[in-house]
Amino acid sequence: MPTPSRSRQHPVTVTELFARYHQRLRKNVRAVVNTSDENVEDACMFAWTQFLSWELERIEVAYSWLTTVAIREAVKLDRRTRRTYPLHTQDDEVIDVVDANDQLRLTRLLAEAGDVVRTAGLSPRQTHILGLQVLGLGYDEIAAQTGDTKRTIERQIRRARRKLACTLSEHGG
């Protein structure tokens, strides 16, 4: 007669699994994906959340499953983070979120951004594509909307960013 598995002899709770694996999971994701600590933590917590919704019956595969899910999520988060850059004012103040109710500040920021775009000499196409990215669209979504290939979108955004960076560095921004 086969020996019953450990999970049947002594059921392991999710709390025990979390205590046993969480630090190791974070360490392994950190070793595989070169991203911020916040992205690693978010990815690990996403994996734990998915684990709770799937309720894996075989505890032996729990850690490898968690690791795979966390690494994939960390890569996604890292790509998203690298696609967006913080906005700086002329005083080198970092602007994370603009309060939609603060119309005066929002108007000032939009005017400054418009001045920088005009000074940078972006083509209308680059301005349009960069504007779509600022609205939160990904490369695939922009390509579908404009009819361009994803590669063309990447190239136009890279050129636009280069022009903007050059303009900002020339004007002390």
Mean pLDDT of 142-165: 89
Joined tokens for residue 163: 């022009």
For residue 4, give the 3-state DSSP assignment: coil
Q: Which segments of the chain does DSSP mark as H helices, in order?
A: 6-9, 14-32, 37-54, 62-83, 103-120, 124-134, 139-146, 150-170
What pLDDT was estimated at residue 26? Answer: 92
Mean pLDDT of 32-40: 87
CA–CA gap between residue 41 and residue 70 (Å, rounded): 9
Residue 29 burial (CB count, 10 A): 25
Q: Of 16-20, 67-71, 78-82, 161-165, which gets the smallest average pLDDT?
A: 78-82
What pLDDT was estimated at residue 134? Answer: 77
Q: Which residues, in sequence order, are bridge partners of residue 55?
A: none
Query: What structural domains does the chain harbor?
Result: 6-83 (no CATH), 87-170 (1.10.10.10)
pLDDT in tens, 101-112: 666 776 776 677
Distance, C-alpha 167 to centroid of its chain: 26
Mean pLDDT of 115-122: 80
Helix axis angle, 150-170 to 124-134, nearest 10°: 100
Share of residues in the chain with pLDDT > 70 (%): 73
Reported as half-sphere exposure (CB side, CA atoms, 13 A), residue 150 has a value of 5
